[in-house]
Amino acid sequence: MNRQAIRLASWIMTGILVMGLFFQTGRMVFAQQAAAVAAASRSESKIEPVNINKANLEELQVVRGIGPALAERIIQYRTANGNFETLEQLSEVRGIGEAKFEKMKSQITI
């Protein structure tokens, strides 16, 4: 083999090694992201339902879909009308429609 062929073969091998390292790193990043998503879904399922009759402002915000303003409205409704007798009664709070209630009903209790 002449020098030019050896140099070309060397560049090709280097390129192959770099590409292999790049794709291997990409797979590792993907695997790490998948593991993080799986861990998050496992920890999310361990969260106890929030009692909407007893929860304070911060505790209500643990429920997906309830931010500070909605948590405040829930507390105001509860103060004005007494404790919720059913989960569905939460739909009477301004800002909680049918779709939002469906998303949060597994995360709440009375």
Query: Quick one: pLDDT at residue 24?
Result: 66
Whether pLDDT at 43 is above 60: no
Query: Can you tell me the distance from the alpha carbon of 105 to that of 98, in angstroms, rounded to the nearest whole number?
Result: 10
- Residue 1 CB-half CA count within 13 A: 8
pLDDT, mean of residues 9-15: 81
pLDDT band at 36 (very low <50, low <70, confident <90, very high): low
Helices and strands per DSSP (H, E), number in the chain: 4, 2
Nearest residue to 97 (alpha-carbon basis) of 68, 67, 62, 65: 65
pLDDT, mean of residues 36-40: 62
pLDDT band at 93 (very low <50, low <70, confident <90, very high): very high
Q: Categorise residue 69: left if φ over 0, alpha if ψ from -120 to 50, beta otherwise.
A: alpha
